[in-house]
Structure 1
């Protein structure tokens, strides 16, 4: 279903009409709305896109540092702070696309919180050539996924307590002020409407029942052949189970309680233990999922309905069914959160990931510069021979 709130000529034979050639399509997420799937598919098809007049200008799947720098936002806990050079480099890559259509995707653009920042981003990307794409999913599906992501960045608060703060404790900013900046979707759309106008914004409501639907919509907007964009498996991006999240949350308590440095958390925990655990352990049907209690489901559905009405009132183009934003899952939500149990294998893989990361860091620091250059040179030669 497509709701066209701006012009009558956008839908073509039930499909979404392509944007004008030369458009700079800026996909701003927000988080947990299919952004990783889109970025992975675009990056995998990077070499095929130019023959269809489209360029993916970033050198990596996700230009996160550039987006953070553009929005003046800090890096994730313990990571190196992004600089203006990251954003300038991406702008140069966009500028090099010339008159071709280009697409930039980062959910961190949704973190831009004031009109001046948004106007500057739009102006630097090409002004009137910029078209903003917002992808949306129901809050009830976003909340558990976003909570476990916050835990991966050091959060120590349990899920139900976190829901209480986000939904019942005004001004609803603690412990994560970024949540409603990203996920009060009507206000997010309104901020960007003030910069580009409603005619240059497309809102896509993601239907989780149609797994390929979002990629097909991107193909139509960019004028690409059908099925050119294909999903790329990414185990490192999977959500944690309840048990995994609770293990990490309790580790966060110990970490903070002992005053350890953030850089250690980034290297050993998030990019060591958690990354290795996600890459090696796939959740089984027996694993307890993060379930949202009924009171929070009803509250999220009510907010979703209000946001859908407000977005429709902005006059932007809406692709998909806005009713999904307030849909309540058919299965009844539990009264409470079940007790999690983590398997010995998962715990062992997490511990190994931390140890391996520590060993790599120690090896690098203890290796002389001459020896390090010899090893790196040898690796580069091996890669060149393979090519």
Structure 2
């Protein structure tokens, strides 16, 4: 789970004045800075917040499709591309809140490609009523989380090789050009300041040591009672262990190498194998986490210090301790064990893929001529195998 803010530097609700009534608070992330945690808490408290004059206009925890559409992003590998209608629906939902305070949160707003897109987002969500909130965590915390997220979207590159591309090989755009678009945080803040002005941008430095700090900050800014927002357990959002990520990365190599359709990846791998594995298996104390090598941690901390200095000079409100962004974590006190995946975890991943195949609608039920395996598409083969396997399991 991702969270939160510093214990000492972020003021309590009584010390942090709320934003003006009628504000439309736009939380733009970026990714891996507590976004899923705060979105779950806001959505769960939707009715309670309404009683205090604050609306959460989206009909789901995260209006991802709307943000992807306005930012011209294609979405996750194998998923259908969001349309302009997704964005228009969110704009209509926000407009329906009238003069009440409202809050919208999506980390994909950080992917806005240019000032014109940022300007359109702000104007269509309320113009001068829009206040922007940016949550930041240290790069050294973000990088392993972001790498394994990219792997969940088809990346085949190992962690250290990926770090070298991100930190040592200019122009630092391959294999994931979105990374620095999101996580060069000084430039991200600067893009939004150019549109809304420094007085309407708040930066919250997230510190994992205070697991409730981000909730309390949102409550204060929105004028909500303290402790109204509470974390919502979400096993589907947990990070993968190193062994799980490596298993998936190697699967990606085979998947891409055999040129299987991307829709199959979305259906069977992301929402089948990986989702079921996350929900069914919690990492234990002996599972090896993704560790960032010392050279990369120091490089990330140096960039963090530079970003913090530039943000401080922009005149935006900064909540939390900017020094957190340049801290280098202590090295592990004992040698890491060899990353291994338990057989039951692998079994749950395999079952998740089979269950997803079995649940897929059969596109053509009309009689067809007999075909050999080599004449049958991979997608059809997986569906047939999944149906047969589950049928046998039910018999037993």
Name the TM-score, length of structure 2 as normaliser: 0.88
State the Cα deviation string for residues 281-305 of structure 1 (Å, max 9, x = none): 0000000000000000000000000
Rounded to whole Å, the distance in 1 between the matches of 2:57 and 2:161 is 42
Does structure 1 conserve the Cα–Cα contact (< 8 Å) formed by 2:12 and 2:216?
A: no
RMSD of Structure 2 on Structure 1 (CA) = 1.7
- C-alpha distance in 1, partners of 2:333/2:316? 33
Distance 2:126 2:317 in 1: 21
CA spacing shift, 1:359–1:13, aligned 2, 3 Å: closer
Contact 2:65/2:87, CA 8 A, preserved across alignment = yes
Matches within 5 A, 1:29-108: 29-108=29-108
CA distance in 2: counterparts of 1:192 and 1:109, whole angstroms: 10
Q: Is the 8 A contact 2:13 2:226 kept in 1?
A: no
Q: Using the alignment, how far apart are the partners of 2:152 and 2:12 within structure 1?
A: 43
Shift of 1:340: 2.1
Equivalent residue number for residue 380 of structure 2: none
Q: What is the SS of the residue equivalent to 1:47?
A: helix
CA change 1:365–1:328 in 2 (3 A) is farther
Contact 1:308/1:322 (<8 A) preserved: yes
Per-residue CA deviation, residues 140-168 of structure 1 (Å, 9 max, x unaligned), is 00000000000000000000000000000
Write the deviation string for residues 237-269 of structure 1: whole angstroms up to 9, x where unpaired: 000000000000000000000000000000000
Report what 1:213 is aligned to. Answer: 213
- Structure 1 residue 113 displacement after superposition: 1.9
In the alignment, what sits opposite 2:390? none
Instruction: Indicate the residue corresponding to 2:297 in structure 1.
Output: 297
Maintained 8 Å contact 1:246/1:340: no
CA deviation vs aligned residue, 1:295-344 (integer Å, no higher than 9, x gap): 00000000000000000011000000000000111235999x86421110
Retained in 1: the 8 A contact 2:13–2:217? no
Rounded to whole Å, the distance in 2 between the matches of 1:141 and 1:175 is: 20
Gaps of 5+ in 2: 1-7, 367-396
Using the size of structure 1 for normalisation, the TM-score is 0.90
The size of the alignment, in residue pairs, is 359
Cα distance in 2 for partners of 1:122, 1:13 equals: 27
Cα deviation per residue 1:101-137 (whole Å; 9 max; x = unaligned)?
A: 0000000000002000000100101110000000000
- Tell me what 2:282 maps to: 282
Aligned-residue offset at 1:70: 1.0
CA contact 2:13–2:220 (8 Å) conserved in 1: no
Q: Map 1:184-203 to 2 at 5 A.
A: 184-203=184-203
Q: Is the 8 A contact 2:68 2:108 kept in 1?
A: yes
Could you say which residue in structure 2 is the equivalent of 1:342?
341
Q: CA deviation at 1:207?
A: 1.2
